[in-house]
Amino acid sequence: MISQRNQNIRIAGKKDIRQDFGVWDHFDSEAEYFEFTENWFKECCRILKPKGWIYIFFDRQKVGFFDLILAKKYNIKSKSIFAWLKSNPCPSIRKANWLSASEFVWIGCKQKGRIKNYLSHKEMYNYMITPNKAAYGETTHPTEKPRAVIERFVQASSNVGELVLDPFVGSGTTAVVCKSLNRRYIGFESDRRYYRIALGRVAKTKTEVLL
Ligand SMILES: C[S@@+](CC[C@H](N)C(=O)[O-])C[C@H]1O[C@@H](n2cnc3c(N)ncnc32)[C@H](O)[C@@H]1O
């Protein structure tokens, strides 16, 4: 499960108010961003099992990058775009743009991939509505994702005992979900504060689904 997010707000004539949901997403140039993204995408594709699936929370300004460039280059099939809709988004101060009440997840798999576990019809809709982080959040991580969304991806795309990789683990939501659903997991996190938060959450999580 992979995340990318970067959002700035400018108040008319004043300096930027940065809603810094992701300092890790700031790059000196677009070329640097693309190079970084291609590097991890390439590695994920290399180790993805033949029936494995890949889920990427992506920045709306980069829509097309995964579908039009990376997926083709690395022989990954583009399967869907999932919309996570926020039932209570932050209100807009300036009222100058559409309110940001959604995030998108690019979904792909290896060439012959079929969904592993087709859940109930409604659970297979490519959207989910949840309240925003103020309601579901368990940690201080600025972009902690809702467990319900990650659970859906893990349930549909893996079986008990299988291995899930999250190269950008943040507050540990993917690891927590995997432990709860009895999947094995590997996560990378470069920021020690978030790494410790993730470890603490995982330690408190019980395995709910048994073999
Ligand atoms: C969008 S957040 C992930 C949020 C996570 N899904 C959650 O629910 O908490 C991305 C995370 O990736 C981490 N990160 C950024 N660059 C990284 C890198 N090169 N290696 C490992 N972690 C990195 C950031 O510190 C940040 O915590």
Q: Where are the domains of the chain?
A: 2-204
What pLDDT was estimated at residue 21? 66
Indicate whether residue 158 lines ligand 1 (CB < 6 A).
no
What pLDDT was estimated at residue 1? 61
Low pLDDT (below 50) residues in the chain: 5-18
DSSP H or E stretch at residue 50: none
Q: CA-based angle 147:152:154, to the nearest 5? A: 90
Strand partners of residue 78: 108
Cβ(147)–Cβ(204) below 8 Å:
no
Structure tokens given for 44: 């994920």
Q: Output the CA 71–ligand 1 centroid distance in Å.
A: 22
The CATH number fitting domain 2-204, selected from 2.60.40.1180, 3.30.465.10, 3.40.50.150, 3.20.20.140? 3.40.50.150
pLDDT digits (tens, 9 = 90+) for 16-40: 444 556 788 889 999 999 999 999 9
Percent of the chain with pLDDT over 70: 90
Q: Output the CA 9–ligand 1 centroid distance in Å.
A: 22
What pLDDT was estimated at residue 199? 98
Cβ(108)–Cβ(76) below 8 Å:
yes
Indicate whether residue 20 lines ligand 1 (CB < 6 A).
no
Q: Give whole-number Cα distances, 148 to 61, 64, 81, 126, 144, in Å.
A: 25, 26, 17, 13, 12
Q: Please state at what angle helix 173-180 crosses helix 192-204, rounded to 10 degrees.
A: 20
